[in-house]
Amino acid sequence: MFSCLGIITARKGSKGIPSKNKRKLNGKPVIAYTCEIARKCKYITKTITTTDCQEIRKISKKFGIEAPFLRPKKLATDNSFQEDAVIHAINWYLKNRNIFFDYICLLEPTAPFRKLSSLNKAFKILQKNKKLDGVFSITKSNTPPNKLRIKNKNNLMSNWFKEKTFDSREIRQKSETYYKRTPSIIIIKTNYLMKKKIFMSKKSLLYEVDQIEGIDLDEPFDFFIAEQAKKKKFNDAKQLVKYIK
């Protein structure tokens, strides 16, 4: 059996959704949903929260997750890389607890619909295939890249016709299925992260989650969607489809 350190990254600053990690979502702080899943996952040996905010630290402790230090300010700016904050947490744990874990499970609070069952399945995949570096979640994207453009300063539509393959009459049902990364599941070998300073690896497996589980709180509209889904008690896309029908 391998060891795994769960790391909840929750800084206080956020441009898209102000104070989103401690903001109430259906009556509960956003970070609380991640704390609860982390505590229930038997594959996560220990979980800590890295934050630069005393209030988030208190909320984390209230929901059973240790927050043993305040993250240095230089690792909590809008331009800071999350990898650096995670590596700082790994080094803190090694220095203060003398424990080095086989895997790191990055637990971003912005995925409040993360499922314990999905997380467990991801860990089981790693148990069976030791050659993999990690497992990352993806979900279907509603907008394929060939339909996206940068808006011209003159607001004319000219750059929408640059590609020869572009056809405004394209049938939606015949277009390719595209996916985007979501923070629901991010598990990586600690040695790989420490060496490469990045989470992504070519030897990591993609794990598809549905679009409800894949919700990532980045912009105000994301929060609105999440709030409605929580109120309706939608935990997966099947419930949403059933509701629409």
The pLDDT tens digits for 142-162 are 888 878 888 888 998 887 776
Q: Could you read off the pLDDT of 6-62 as tens digits, one per residue? A: 999 999 877 789 899 999 999 999 999 999 999 999 999 999 999 999 999 999 999
**pLDDT-based confidence at residue 113 (cuts at 50, 70, 90):** very high
Q: Is 163 domain-assigned?
A: no
Residue 190 within any structural domain of the chain: yes
Task: Count the Cβ atoms, other than its own, within 10 Å of residue 116.
Answer: 14
**Within a domain: residue 155?**
no
The reply to whether 32 falls in a domain is yes
pTM: 0.91
Residue 146 within any structural domain of the chain: no
Query: In sequence order, which residues have a C-beta less than 8 Å from that of residue 161 and are 6 or more positions away?
Result: none
Look at residue 161 and tell me if it is in a domain.
Answer: no
Number of domains composing the chain = 1
Q: Could you tell me if residue 189 is inside a domain?
A: yes
Report how far residue 232's alpha carbon sits from residue 174's, in angstroms, rounded to the nearest whole number: 32
CATH code at position 228: 3.90.550.10
Residue 42 CB burial class (10 angstroms; 0-12, 13-18, ≥19): exposed
Residue 89 in domain: yes
Residue 68's domain comprises 4-139+180-244
Closest CA to 3 of 90, 115, 99: 99
What are the pLDDT digits (tens) for 174-192? 568 899 999 999 999 999 9
Q: Residue 154, SS3?
A: coil
